[in-house]
Amino acid sequence: MRIQASFKRVLHYKSETIFGAGLLMSALIFLGSLLGIVRNALLASHFGASHSLDVYYASFRLPDLIYNIFIIGAISAAFIPLFNEYLSKDKDKAWQFSNFIIIFIGFLLGIFGLLIIIFARPLLSKILVGFNQDNLESVILLTKIMMIQPLLLGISSIISGVLKSFRLFFVTTLAPLMYNLG
């Protein structure tokens, strides 16, 4: 019971000051970046400078591009301030807004994901000059599989924005850390 209570207290930690939130977020982002470096070092030590590692990194290009274009800027620039404004006036409207955005982002990223899955071959053939046919086929297959990533990360980013609005920064800052562990 004590472990469960401690775990719950950590997950529900609410920062009362901007400095505290900034310090917590900075520390966890730094730790996540270190884990990313460790992950890349492990991949490099296992695969070396190989075509397999090139295929792995190339497969992330389109999913990451879609996610970065549609989500990262939209969350910080638009969603959180609008959600906070709705929340201060009418909680029901705030939740309706967040639900609408989750559905809209899911639909938009789903459509883009399907388009990239359908047109992966011509898109990647133009982008990835210098890959032999076998490696290009591997990148195309892995890219199609990874197109679920923007959809899942997009929805989780909206949920993360909601949590940040309630000053629950600890859980939201764990996401990049877990991404790098995965």
CB 50 within 8 A of CB 131: no
Q: What angle do CA 77, 81, 86 make, to 5 degrees?
A: 145
pLDDT value, residue 10: 54
DSSP code per residue over 141-178: HHHHHHTHHHHHHHHHHHHHHHHHHTT-HHHHHHHHHH
Query: What confidence tens digit (pLDDT) does each residue in 29-55 have?
Result: 788 788 878 877 887 777 777 777 788
What's the rounded Cα separation, in Å, for the pair 175 and 48?
Answer: 28
79-93 average pLDDT score: 93
Q: Identify residue 60 by its one-letter amino acid code.
A: F
More confident residue, 19 or 135: 135
Of the ranges 54-58, 103-107, 163-167, the best mean pLDDT one: 103-107
What's the rounded Cα separation, in Å, for the pair 122 and 119?
Answer: 6
127-133 average pLDDT score: 85
Instruction: Indicate the pTM of the whole model.
Output: 0.75
pLDDT value, residue 102: 92
**pLDDT of 133 higher than 60:** yes
pLDDT value, residue 46: 78
pLDDT value, residue 82: 92
